[in-house]
């Protein structure tokens, strides 16, 4: 039996776990530095003791920006085969995390198969599964019932769980005074708000927070403190409701660390570009440097069908300014359940945002990837370029859809290719644009 309960517990004892060693190697950092930051809470390594297929990843201070893919079945779309195709795509693109947001029927079988096959971290929102799991209407669920769902997910091997513990009665009062444009847009947050208002009770995840932590510690599940009051439009960003909840999340972060439970903090939804950097600093300050899991932020509200772009813009700024973990957004956001192409587009947009931020932050190894692409481009080495592309399949398809006569160019510039011209002159060759020139 392990001499430690969680990654944080091990780190505080001075123990380097295999997971810490893996993270250090892949991040080009010293293992001792990883251990120190895990002990401090500024890095988390979500790794449930029952997730045997997991490839461990670190999230937090000084590490590459990680990304998450949301998927799962719903009442209108419960095609398990289609969702597993999305899982395979996420694994193909080496996404670090997958969240199962299923909210229809008995989700245990889907989640069990997902955990068995996925090297990515698996996350859930137990609140989504409560109705189906407990077979009760929302108003009939007891406070302690919610904890049963949380423990069921933990036993199955889920690496992190989004728990909306910060939307307590104080935060709700701040929300009501604010009179928001879009009220509560968090699905889990809205359900908890409804339950609290219908029953007159405090948020069960807040009231029984110590019990929540005991369960998570038992299986080494990282708590992702959900932002139930995140802004759902630019008009609501950085308002009293959002900040009131964030203050509560900071206090809950410290309580989790005292129990050796690893923490991520979620936020902030929609906001204009000029507010993003300040929000990143505010979160880090109020939550003591805990890793920040960013939802968006969407920088404009008027682009349905293109919200993977609005989120990638916001995600890049957020990650450059201190966010550690991006949640992808697909073109289907606000419109429908994403299909396979939507998922692909969302993954690529988020990976671009994450890597662009890593370049700006000088993350070890980040520039090596771009340098490899640049060398292949200079050499007009198409296979080399495809190998370095975020989406090699699309890059190849575009090139081959209208191939040039001369494979040392592309069909846009032909023999006027700047790389070709420069290379020839620098090699002491002359340049001719006649058709018969090699």
CA–CA separation, 102 vs 85, rounded Å? 15
Q: Is 252 annotated as a binding residue?
A: no
Q: Is 270 annotated as a binding residue?
A: yes
Q: Is 271 annotated as a binding residue?
A: no
Q: Is 37 annotated as a binding residue?
A: no
Q: Is 413 annotated as a binding residue?
A: yes
CA–CA separation, 37 vs 43, rounded Å? 5
Q: Is 320 annotated as a binding residue?
A: no
Q: Is 51 annotated as a binding residue?
A: no
Q: Is 228 annotated as a binding residue?
A: yes
Alpha carbon distance, N-terminus to C-terminus of the chain: 68
Q: Is 104 annotated as a binding residue?
A: no
Cα torsion 205, 206, 208, 211: sign: positive
Q: Is 288 annotated as a binding residue?
A: no
Q: Using CA atoms in the order 393, 399, 400, 401, what is the torsion angle rounded to 10 degrees? A: 100
By the 8 A CB rule, do 292 and 335 touch?
Answer: no
360, two tokens: 């700006």
Pairing type for strands 59-60 and 43-44 reads antiparallel
Q: Is 99 annotated as a binding residue?
A: yes
Count the helices and strands in the chain (H runs, E runs). 19, 10
CA–CA separation, 403 vs 406, rounded Å? 8
Q: Which residues of 95-132 are buried (b: 16+ CB within 10 A; e: fewer)?
A: bbbbbbbbbbbebeebbeebbeebebbbbbbbbbbbbb
Q: Is 188 annotated as a binding residue?
A: yes
Annotated binding site: 70, 99, 128, 164, 186-188, 227-230, 266, 270, 293, 334, 410, 413, 417
Binding residues for [4Fe-4S] cluster: 410, 413, 417
Positions at the binding site for Zn(2+): 270, 334
Annotated binding site for substrate: 70, 99, 128, 164, 186-188, 227-230, 266, 293
């Amino acid at each position: 039996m392990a001499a430690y309960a969680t990654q944080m517990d091990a780190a505080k004892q001075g123990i380097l776990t295999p997971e810490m060693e893996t993270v250090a190697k892949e991040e080009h950092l010293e293992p001792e530095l990883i251990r120190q930051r895990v002990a401090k809470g500024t890095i988390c390594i979500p790794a449930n003791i029952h997730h045997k297929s997991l490839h461990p990843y670190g999230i937090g201070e000084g590490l590459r920006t990680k990304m998450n893919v949301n998927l799962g079945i719903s009442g209108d779309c419960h095609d398990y085969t289609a969702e597993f195709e999305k899982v395979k795509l996420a694994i193909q693109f080496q996404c670090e995390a997958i969240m199962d947001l299923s909210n229809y029927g008995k989700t245990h079988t889907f989640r069990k198969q997902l955990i068995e096959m996925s090297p990515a971290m698996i996350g859930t929102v137990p609140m989504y599964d409560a109705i189906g799991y407990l077979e009760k209407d929302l108003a009939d669920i007891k406070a302690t019932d919610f904890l049963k769902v949380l423990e069921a997910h933990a036993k199955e091997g889920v690496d992190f769980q989004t728990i909306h513990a910060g939307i307590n009665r104080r935060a709700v009062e701040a929300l009501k005074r604010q009179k928001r444009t879009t009220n509560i847009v968090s699905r889990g947050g809205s359900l908890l708000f409804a339950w609290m208002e219908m029953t007159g009770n405090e948020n069960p995840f807040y009231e029984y927070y110590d019990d929540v932590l005991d369960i998570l510690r038992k299986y080494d599940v990282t708590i992702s403190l959900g932002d139930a009051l995140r802004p759902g439009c630019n008009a609501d960003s950085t308002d009293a409701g959002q900040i009131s909840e964030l203050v509560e999340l900071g206090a809950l972060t410290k309580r989790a660390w005292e129990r050796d439970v690893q923490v991520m903090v979620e936020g902030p939804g929609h906001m204009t570009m000029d507010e993003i950097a300040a929000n990143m600093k505010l979160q880090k300050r109020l939550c003591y440097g805990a890793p920040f899991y960013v939802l968006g932020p969407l920088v404009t509200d008027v682009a349905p069908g293109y919200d993977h772009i609005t989120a990638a813009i916001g995600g890049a700024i957020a990650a450059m300014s201190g966010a550690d973990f991006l949640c992808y957004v697909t073109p289907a956001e606000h419109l429908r359940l994403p299909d396979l192409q939507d998922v692909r587009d969302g993954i690529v947009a988020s990976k671009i945002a994450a890597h662009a931020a890593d370049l700006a932050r000088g993350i070890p190894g980040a520039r090596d990837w771009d340098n490899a692409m640049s060398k292949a481009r200079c050499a007009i080495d198409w296979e080399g370029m495809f190998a370095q592309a975020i989406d090699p399949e699309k890059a190849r398809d575009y090139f081959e859809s209208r191939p040039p006569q001369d494979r040392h160019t592309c069909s846009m510039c032909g023999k006027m290719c700047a790389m070709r011209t420069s290379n020839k002159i620098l090699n002491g060759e002359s340049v001719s644009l006649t058709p018969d020139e090699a």
